[in-house]
Amino acid sequence: MSEFTVAKVAVEKTVYHFDKAFDYCVPETLLADAKPGCRVIVPFGGANSKRQGIILAITEQKVADCLKPILAVLDKAPLLSNEGLQLVSWMKEHYFCTLFDAVKLLLPAGLNLKIRTEYSLAVNSDTLFMEDFSESEKQVIRYLAHARTSVDRDKLLSAMGFSDDSVLQKLCSANVLVKSSGAVRRIGDAAQKMVRLTDLSYLPKLTKKQKNVYDLLCEAGSASLKELCYFAGVTPVVVNTLATKGIVQYFEMEVYRNPYEHISGNGDAEDIVLSSEQQKAFENLYQQYRSGKGGVSLLYGVTGSGKTSVFMRLIDEVKGEGRGIIVMVPEISLTPQTVALFHQRYGRSVAVFHSGLSLGERLDEWKRVKNGEAQIAVGTRSAVFAPFQDLGIIIVDEEQEYTYKSESSPRYHAREVAKFRCAYHKALLVLSSATPSIESYYLAQNGRYSLNTLSTRFGCAELPEVTVVDMNRELENGNDTILSAELFSALNDNLKNGKQSILLLNRRGFHTFVSCKKCGQVVTCPHCSISLTYHSANKRLMCHYCGYSIPFTKECPQCHENQVYYTGWGTQRAEQQLQELLPDARILRLDTDSTMTRFAYERKLRLFAQGEYDIIVGTQMVAKGLDFENVTLVGVLSADQTLYSDDFRSYERAFDLITQVVGRSGRGKFAGRAIIQTFTPENSILRLAARQDYQEFYKGEIAIRKAMLYPPYSDICVIGFVGNMQDQVHKASKTFLSNLAFLAKSEYPEQPLRVLNPAPALIGKVNNKYRYKLIIKCRNNAKLREMISRLLIQFSENREYKSVTVFADMNPNSIL
């Protein structure tokens, strides 16, 4: 009996509870083209609708009569290597996503295809007896006769005013129309006007065209208006409507096909001079790389110790051997500085990966890496998927940052994906930080990672002198401004001496709390369980979760008295008061409100470096990665905001943020100083951050983690439940707990589990969606993941909870 060739295909738009690699027969005409890693068009479901998929494997079997055939192969050569195909399956298992969702992460958004359905007349309209047709059918025939070509389904439905294609199907059955489908590549040229989603987590009802725009932006992050209209098949009117609803927002974009071609640099690398401590770290790392075994190394060094010089020296060696290099930074705001540094040293061999690029730019950079034209990939977490065939090293800078973890499906952590890729290529993974995550430092202390330490600043630079100011005393002395007397004096001295200063206030907006003096009512968002923040720039009260806003008002929405009271400090208010207190100072505000336009952050920092500003005041984006020799003063305006939150990582985040921002001071030949303002000066975390004493902080934190059985002594899996009806969401969470208890006891008794009862999320309602969480302390192994997967599938098949969405997030950065 002859054998049939069968392709195992990951198909798009499946749901988790029935997702798998589906078997399709490969027709003889497609045998030469159908290879693992190639995209295909396949019939799917009872209606045999045409969907895109990707071949994961090719097998042979003796019987294939019941299998549907592959309809078309879309690629001349595989897009995914064997490593990529293995990574897809690994991500499905580890992050509870569909196979095709994992595939989309590995491909640039501009490369993705959509299936386009078109209709055309099958016969000459003059031969038809029009009286045999209904009025709707006549309209379709006349429209297509006038068009004289195939017309896209959505365009035709819109022109006819139809809500579905039943009329079109009837005409197809009568052999009056011909229906055809094909794949259209999603790629376009860069354009000036860009569109991105707002922070809405709940959508109002959308039309089909509006949903197309929304789905594309979910996939791409942002796109030019021209690209968006082309790919979604809509006019700008549809996008404008979404902007009016607050679902999307426009922002400006400078037009670069290569957005960094303006950076000078011919790739001529000057020798990097290392201190003895740096040289030792480099030699250790290079020896580990040359061993050919790969592995993970933690490069821990105090702020300003020259970690970048060490790993760039390492990059020189790896680049010389012709192997691929990935360098990740945690935020887009840090990318321009890193890219400039790498472009100046390595020229055009650098490719850039982050969501701020247009679809066309992203595709170009991906192709340059895949074709071997670029040897170094620099970017945010998406850079971890750069398609190198021979990867030598991955460097994760500021490895502790939460932005390396995706908060939407697939909920992957770039550090874990980097470990997988380095293990596959026997490459070296370098984790670099002045404040490593507790988990990484624990693994280094226990020998799972190698550890290289830089204990002193490079050259003549010294750690800044740090002062902690008790703001309770300031209030007692009649000072109710944002600046303590000591910080005000220090800022004045810096201005007189021509030096620059950085001020951290990790809250944007003007006033952060609004309430009524008469009835005590807090002015909250009607859609979210969160108070509104006043923004002076647009004179509106805004919700930072769903985007809801109302005009500035003094009238209480509860009692209608004009006694609404505004309090709290945000960056906008800080900027205003600084101008009042220091009228001669040139002040630059850096937060997400002031850096919405493309390259705004880069442009403003360039002006600061050129001496155009004296003081930066901003959110956490000013705390990391900035290296200005003329900055000799750092002020933390409200350290308490970072210390207290309902999360076991709150102290770790506070220590990290304060340590990092203090480290921006005195990085050159000038001595630095830092002033931390707080209402709880006795807090030990502030004292340790002031001393930049990570080891002492780690000792205290790891003891707490052990006592409370938190990572690294366990893994935490959070099961999230989201829905419109609070009672239903709560009931669903309890049902899931009951299913978990039964399955764990009956089939997985060997798994160590501690399960906390379901509870509302910290922000219990976001945009009219209620949220509950179930916390599981566990050991993240194959059997545990198998159990969670079975529970998710079982829950999704329960029609009683069809209105409730459930998801699993392994080791999230913050508890829901």
In the chain, the percentage of residues whose pLDDT exceeds 70 is: 90
Query: Predicted confidence band at 190 (pLDDT cuts at 50, 70, 90)?
Result: very low
Assess whether 629 and 726 both reside in one domain: no
- The verdict on residue 815 lying in a domain is no
- The verdict on residue 596 lying in a domain is yes
Cα angle 252, 256, 259 (rounded to 5 degrees) comes to: 95
Task: Print burial letters for 730-768: b (CB count within 10 Å at least 16), e (below 16).
Answer: bbbbebbbeebeeebeeeeeeeebebeebebbeebbbbe
Cβ count near 82 (within 10 Å): 11
| Residue 601, pLDDT score | 67
Average pLDDT over residues 415-442: 96
| Residue 511, pLDDT score | 64
- The verdict on residue 122 lying in a domain is yes
Assess whether 297 and 405 both reside in one domain: yes
- The verdict on residue 710 lying in a domain is no
- The verdict on residue 268 lying in a domain is no
Assess whether 531 and 595 both reside in one domain: no
> Parallel, antiparallel, or unpaired for β 49-61 and 4-11?
antiparallel
| Residue 99, pLDDT score | 96
Is the pLDDT at 369 greater than 60, yes or no?
A: yes
Gap between the Cα atoms of 350 and 231, Å rounded: 29
Assess whether 422 and 352 both reside in one domain: yes
- The verdict on residue 663 lying in a domain is yes
CB-based contacts of 183, cutoff 8 Å, min separation 6: 39, 41, 52, 72, 74, 113, 114, 115, 116
Query: Among 137, 163, 185, where does a domain finish?
Result: 185
- 558 backbone dihedrals φ, ψ, rounded to 5°: -90, -55
CB 772 within 8 A of CB 759: yes
Gap between the Cα atoms of 570 and 508, Å rounded: 5
- The verdict on residue 614 lying in a domain is yes
Cα angle 303, 307, 308 (rounded to 5 degrees) comes to: 115
Is the omega angle on the peptide bond into residue 464 within 30 degrees of 0, that is, cis?
no
Gap between the Cα atoms of 783 and 785, Å rounded: 5
Given its phi and psi angles, is residue 404 left (phi above 0), alpha (psi -120 to 50 degrees) or beta?
alpha
Cβ count near 235 (within 10 Å): 11
Query: Among 417, 434, 454, where does a domain finish?
Result: 454
pLDDT tens by residue, 57-113: 999 987 767 889 999 998 888 999 999 999 999 999 999 999 999 999 999 876 665
Query: Among 66, 93, 112, where does a domain finish?
Result: 112
Is the pLDDT at 643 greater than 70, yes or no?
A: yes
CATH, residue 178? 1.10.10
Assess whether 744 and 689 both reside in one domain: no
Query: Predicted confidence band at 189 (pLDDT cuts at 50, 70, 90)?
Result: very low
Is the pLDDT at 38 greater than 90, yes or no?
A: yes
pLDDT tens by residue, 561-574: 777 766 677 788 88
Binding-site positions: 516, 519, 525, 528, 543, 546, 556, 559
| Residue 180, pLDDT score | 72
DSSP 235-251: -HHHHHHHHHTTSEEEE
Q: Which range has highest mean pLDDT (116-125, 190-199, 701-710)? A: 701-710
Gap between the Cα atoms of 629 and 609, Å rounded: 9
Average pLDDT over residues 434-456: 93
DSSP β-bridge partners for residue 500: 631
Gap between the Cα atoms of 208 and 500, Å rounded: 52
Average pLDDT over residues 680-703: 91
pLDDT tens by residue, 159-188: 888 877 888 888 888 888 887 765 555 444
Range of the domain at 772: 715-810
CB 382 within 8 A of CB 332: no
Average pLDDT over residues 380-409: 93
770 is written with which tokens? 């209620």
Q: Which tops the pLDDT comparison, 486 or 348?
A: 486
- CA dist 161 to 152, 155, 233, 424, Å? 14, 10, 16, 54
Assess whether 327 and 404 both reside in one domain: yes
Gap between the Cα atoms of 174 and 151, Å rounded: 18
| Residue 667, pLDDT score | 73
Average pLDDT over residues 126-136: 84
CB 29 within 8 A of CB 73: no
pLDDT tens by residue, 292-330: 888 999 999 988 788 989 999 999 999 999 999 999 988
Indicate whether this model's pTM tops 0.75: yes
| Residue 202, pLDDT score | 66
Cα angle 422, 425, 431 (rounded to 5 degrees) comes to: 20
Query: Predicted confidence band at 521 (pLDDT cuts at 50, 70, 90)?
Result: confident
| Residue 182, pLDDT score | 59
Assess whether 388 and 517 both reside in one domain: no
| Residue 187, pLDDT score | 44
Given its phi and psi angles, is residue 589 left (phi above 0), alpha (psi -120 to 50 degrees) or beta?
beta
Distance between alpha carbon 35 and the CA centroid of its chain, in Å? 31
User: DSSP strand E in 129-240: where?
Assistant: 151-152, 177-185, 193-197, 222-224
DSSP β-bridge partners for residue 430: 297, 395
pLDDT tens by residue, 526-562: 888 887 887 766 677 888 777 777 787 777 877 877 7
Assess whether 87 and 228 both reside in one domain: no
pLDDT tens by residue, 710-752: 999 999 999 999 999 999 999 999 999 999 999 999 999 999 9
CATH, residue 197? 1.10.10.10
Query: Predicted confidence band at 603 (pLDDT cuts at 50, 70, 90)?
Result: confident
Is the pLDDT at 510 greater than 60, yes or no?
A: yes
**Tally of CA atoms within 13 A in the half-sphere of 136 that contains its CB:** 14
Binding-site positions for Zn(2+): 516, 519, 525, 528, 543, 546, 556, 559
Assess whether 550 and 583 both reside in one domain: no
Query: Predicted confidence band at 289 (pLDDT cuts at 50, 70, 90)?
Result: very high
| Residue 121, pLDDT score | 85
Gap between the Cα atoms of 299 and 627, Å rounded: 19
CATH, residue 765? 3.30.70.360
Is the pLDDT at 47 greater than 60, yes or no?
A: yes
Distance spanning both ends of the chain, measured CA to CA? 57
Return the minimum-mean-pLDDT range out of 361-370, 568-577, 586-595: 586-595
Gap between the Cα atoms of 475 and 587, Å rounded: 25
| Residue 257, pLDDT score | 46
Average model confidence (pLDDT) for the chain? 85
| Residue 225, pLDDT score | 83
| Residue 806, pLDDT score | 94
Assess whether 497 and 616 both reside in one domain: yes
Assess whether 143 and 91 both reside in one domain: no
| Residue 504, pLDDT score | 87
Gap between the Cα atoms of 516 and 537, Å rounded: 23
One-letter amino acid of 279: Q
Average pLDDT over residues 611-617: 90
CATH, residue 45? 3.40.1440.60
- The verdict on residue 735 lying in a domain is yes
| Residue 179, pLDDT score | 78
pLDDT tens by residue, 222-264: 888 877 876 777 888 888 888 888 888 887 654 434 555 555 5
Q: Which range has highest mean pLDDT (407-421, 444-458, 561-575)? A: 407-421
CATH, residue 399? 3.40.50.300
In the chain, the percentage of residues whose pLDDT exceeds 90 is: 40
Q: How many domains does the chain have?
A: 7
| Residue 70, pLDDT score | 93
Is the pLDDT at 660 greater than 90, yes or no?
A: no
Assess whether 685 and 548 both reside in one domain: no
Is the omega angle on the peptide bond into residue 410 within 30 degrees of 0, that is, cis?
yes
| Residue 335, pLDDT score | 66
Distance between alpha carbon 709 and the CA centroid of its chain, in Å? 28
